[in-house]
Structure 1
Amino acid sequence: MIQVVINRTKSAQIQSFEISGHAFFERRGKDIVCAGVSAVSVGAVNAVHELTGVTPEIDHESGLLRCTIPEHLPEETSGKVQLLLEGMAVALRTIEIDYGKHIKITFKKQEVE
């Protein structure tokens, strides 16, 4: 199962996310759940970098994508980053609705900023 953890600040902004595991929906190369999650998450990271100029801290290896957004961004830039990441969260939740046996999303919120 793919585990997605989206970490929010106390003010509800997405600060980081981690995606780990494998869907095991189908054999390698035919797994539409894995492909969908990969396309949505990597596409979001690429969009953040390309459209806002922000370079997130990334850890990426087989079965793992960890992304952390830099702190203290200008308000306008932060708003754009958040819109892109919220779009990613919506797309991942849509995959979870249809393929919930293969992907689980958890949202965590910091108590203190």
Structure 2
Amino acid sequence: MIGITIDRNHSGEIQSFEISGHAFFADRGKDIVCAGASAVSVGAINAVHAITGVTPMIEQGDGFLRCVIPDHLSADIHEKIQILLEGMVVSLRTIEEEYGTHIKITFKKQEVE
């Protein structure tokens, strides 16, 4: 199963996300759940960089992706990044609705900074 964790700050804004695991929906190269989650998440990271010029901190490996948004961004840039990441969440939730036995999203909210 693909596990996705979306970390939000006390204001509900996305600070980071982590995706790990494999969907095992189909054979490697034919797994539409894995391909969908990968395309949506990597596309969101690419959009953040292309639209805002911000390069998030990325860690990745086999079946693993972590993205952390830098602190201390201008309000305008931060707002654009949040819109892009919320769009990613909508897309991932759409995948989860259809293929919930292969992908699970968890939301974590930081209570105290």
Same-fold status (TM-score > 0.5):
yes
Structure 1 unaligned runs (5+)?
Answer: none
Q: Report the Cα distance in structure 2 between the residues aligned to 1:89 and 1:19, rounded to whole angstroms.
A: 12
- The CA RMSD over aligned residues, in Å, is 0.4
**Partner of 1:39: helix, strand, or coil?**
helix
Number of residue pairs the alignment of both structures matches:
113
Cα deviation, residue 62, structure 1: 1.0
Structure 1 residue runs of 4 or more that deviate by more than 2 Å after TM superposition: none
Structure 2 Cα separation of the partners of residues 68 and 42 of structure 1 = 13
- Aligned ranges for residues 1-113 of structure 1 at < 5 Å? 1-113=1-113
TM-score for both structures, normalised by structure 1: 0.99
Secondary structure, counterpart of 2:88 in structure 1:
helix
Residue ranges of structure 2 left out of the alignment (5+ in a row): none
Q: CA deviation at 1:55?
A: 0.6
Report Cα offsets for 1:54-113 as digits up to 9, x if no partner.
110000111000000001110000000000000000000000000000000000000112
